[in-house]
Amino acid sequence: MARVTLDSDPIPVTLRWAVRLLRGEAVAVGLLAGWLIWADLTAASTDRLSAWLVTAFAIGAAAALWALGGGLERRRAGARAPAIVLQLMLLPIGWFMVQGGMGWLGVPLMALGVGVSWLLVSPATSRALGFGAPEGGQ
């Protein structure tokens, strides 16, 4: 007979939303990577090496975001710091978009980075990942 364990401590809503947003970011970056592949293959003239390196970076970022979402969903505490780093990378990206006249995209990206970072360091998420004060403590 298979052993079944029940998790009596459900995933807090902050962690659940962080995972959803990380997975959503992974899908968005994956779609961007798909477009980059198409652009790389159909470009008339380009620096092929640079184009493929940018595409590879996008594919890697999508895979990393998806994997970190999965790790957090399984309550792996080690997934939190890299996920926060990736979210904080949205701040300079968004800032340069604002400076370049694309504030309509830059400001939401910065808000997303700050918002997901907050979800990842919130008290409920910290407790679920094994950080923070023990029960009854402050």
Residue 135: the pLDDT is 58
pTM of model > 0.75: yes
Q: What one-letter code names the amino acid at 55?
A: T
Residue 109: the pLDDT is 97
Q: What angle do CA 102, 107, 109 make, to 5 degrees?
A: 100
- pLDDT for 55 beyond 90: yes
In the chain, where are the structural domains located?
Answer: 14-128
Q: Which pLDDT band, with edges at 50, 70 and 90, does 45 fall under?
A: confident
Q: Which pLDDT band, with edges at 50, 70 and 90, does 44 fall under?
A: confident
Phi, psi at 135, each rounded to 5°? -55, 135
Contact, 125 vs 10, CB < 8 A?
no
Q: How far is it, in rounded angstroms, from Cα 97 to Cα 90?
A: 10
Between 137 and 25, the more confident residue is 25
The percent of residues above 70 in pLDDT, for the chain, comes to 89
**What's the per-residue H, E or C state across 99-128?**
HCCCHHHHHHHHHHHHHHHHHHHCHHHHHH
How large is the average pLDDT for residues 95-124? 97
- pLDDT for 136 beyond 80: no
